[in-house]
Amino acid sequence: RTPGQGSEFYSLREYVPGDPFKNINWKAFARTGDLMVNEKCRDAVTDLYLLLDS
């Protein structure tokens, strides 16, 4: 599992200028006083091949 654009939670890290505001974890900010962002796990790419023979 590697961080990237995906849908599954990966980790929580400190905010870096340029991070999208939608990734800010406001509950963690309220708890710590530091801006924290959610990192997502890169979605796995799977190839599906369907072979039909009639």
Number of domains in the chain: 1
**pTM of the shown model:** 0.63
Q: Is residue 53 part of a domain?
A: no
Q: At 23, which helix (H) or strand (E)?
A: none
Count, residues in the chain: 54
**Residue 5 phi, psi dihedral angles, 5° rounding:** -75, 115
Q: Is residue 13 part of a domain?
A: yes
Tokens of 33: 């006083």
Q: Is residue 24 part of a domain?
A: yes
Q: At 29, which helix (H) or strand (E)?
A: helix 26-32
Q: Is residue 37 part of a domain?
A: yes
Domain that holds residue 11: 3-41
Q: Is residue 47 part of a domain?
A: no
Q: What is the pLDDT along the chain (54 residues), one digit of tens a residue?
A: 565 677 788 889 999 999 999 899 999 999 999 999 998 877 677 778 888 988
